[in-house]
Amino acid sequence: MSAWADELKWNAEGLVPAVAQDATTGKVLTVAWMNREALEETVRRGEAVYWSRSRGRLWRKGEQSGHVQKLRELRLDCDADALLLRVEQVAGIACHTGHERCFFRRLENGRWVETDPVLKDPAEIYRK
Amino acid sequence: MSAWADELKWNAEGLVPAVAQDATTGKVLTVAWMNREALEETVRRGEAVYWSRSRGRLWRKGEQSGHVQKLRELRLDCDADALLLRVEQVAGIACHTGHERCFFRRLENGRWVETDPVLKDPAEIYRK
């Protein structure tokens, strides 16, 4: 158990939001969630580990895709209830859709417009 | 009511996390929360409006401090449950502590270290 992890204010589900930002380009890649175990493992491994709310288990980012996020810097906000990870995004693809980042849609004139290309077909990313 | 806002997946409390990023420097400034009303008002005004969970009311960012966040771009993630705002941060101070950004602490050798200076004394920011 890590004293520094005691300082976080976890929500009722034991989670905090974690923003992953590409350390090179500065782009915001993903917003995911961490519980204490995920956070401690992230720091220990030096690679992002999240809590998958849909699957109800630890999610070692890249475990299937290989698209690991190597931790370059970890930051905590003023209220100690949000984390910022500056990462090196392996393969340059953070999103399960094959986009560089999850935020590939922009609001334009009252519509969400996909502004970023798919870099790799998800069927190829996740094939066995 | 806006059709584009129907696409969001609000959580059980009717909220989604919203990441504010400085459009000029690329720094991640804050993680806050929005409900539908806050989001629609953000787009209408072109300035960030959040939902304050602690105060239980809309929080027009900068309403007391003057440190408004002018919206330059709004993005939605793949799961439609997180927002990214690229903003122009008025006065260059996003945090109520007087720091440029809320993420002013970095994990260094098992300790959260304050790496960023206080740019303005909060007593001065919030004095009547």
CA distance B65 to B7: 32
Sheet strands side by side (includes A105-108) = A111-114, A105-108, B69-76, B83-89, B16-22, B28-34
pTM: 0.97
Closest residue of chain B to A99, computed from CA coordinates: B78
**Chain segment B96-120, per-residue pLDDT in tens:** 999 999 999 999 999 999 999 999 9
Residue type, position A38, single letter? A
Largest CA distance in chain A: 49
CB contact under 8 A, B2 and A82: no
Q: How far is CA A101 from the centre of its chain?
A: 10
State residue B1's pLDDT score: 66
What mean pLDDT is reported for chain B? 96
| Residue among B3, B75, B105 whose CB faces A76 most closely | B105
**Chain segment B91-102, per-residue pLDDT in tens:** 999 999 999 999
CB atoms within 10 A of CB B63: 12
* Shortest distance, CA B52 to any CA of chain A (angstroms): 13
**Chain segment A77-112, per-residue pLDDT in tens:** 999 999 999 999 999 999 999 999 999 999 999 999
What is the interface pTM, i.e. ipTM, of the complex? 0.97
Counting as low any pLDDT under 70, the low residues of chain B are 1, 128
* Shortest distance, CA B94 to any CA of chain A (angstroms): 11
Sheet strands side by side (includes B111-114) = A28-34, A16-22, A83-89, A69-76, B105-108, B111-114
B79: tokens are 């799961």
